[in-house]
């Protein structure tokens, strides 16, 4: 298995799984959650704190799952 230069954080893996499950992009998540795409990407690798961004994105993910159904 390849070693990542910028390994994902726990939040990064959570977001990666969410996007894969529902077939949406980080750009779409950022736009719908009202956050900057570049900051979202940096938070997934631990390059910025994300103390304001992560709760917004997690709330968006919960709302999205509630709208579409958890078994998509």
DSSP string, 5-67: SS---HHHHHHHHHHHHHT--HHHHHHHHTS-HHHHHHHHTTSS--TTHHHHHHHHHHHHHHH
Structure tokens at 16: 């990666």
Q: What is the dihedral of CA 57, 16, 70, 54, to 10 degrees?
A: -20
Q: With a threshold of 0.75, does the pTM exceed it? A: yes
| Digit-coded pLDDT (tens) for 43-66 | 999 888 889 999 999 999 999 999
CATH fold of the domain at 10-67: 434 Repressor (Amino-terminal Domain) (1.10.260)
Q: What pLDDT is recorded for position 56?
A: 96
């Amino acid at each position: 298995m390849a070693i990542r230069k910028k390994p994902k954080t726990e939040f990064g893996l959570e977001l990666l799984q969410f996007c894969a499950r529902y077939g949406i992009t980080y750009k779409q998540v950022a736009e719908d959650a009202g956050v900057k795409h570049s900051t979202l990407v940096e938070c997934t690798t631990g390059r910025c704190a994300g103390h304001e961004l992560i709760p917004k994105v997690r709330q968006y993910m919960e709302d999205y799952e509630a709208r579409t159904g958890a078994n998509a």
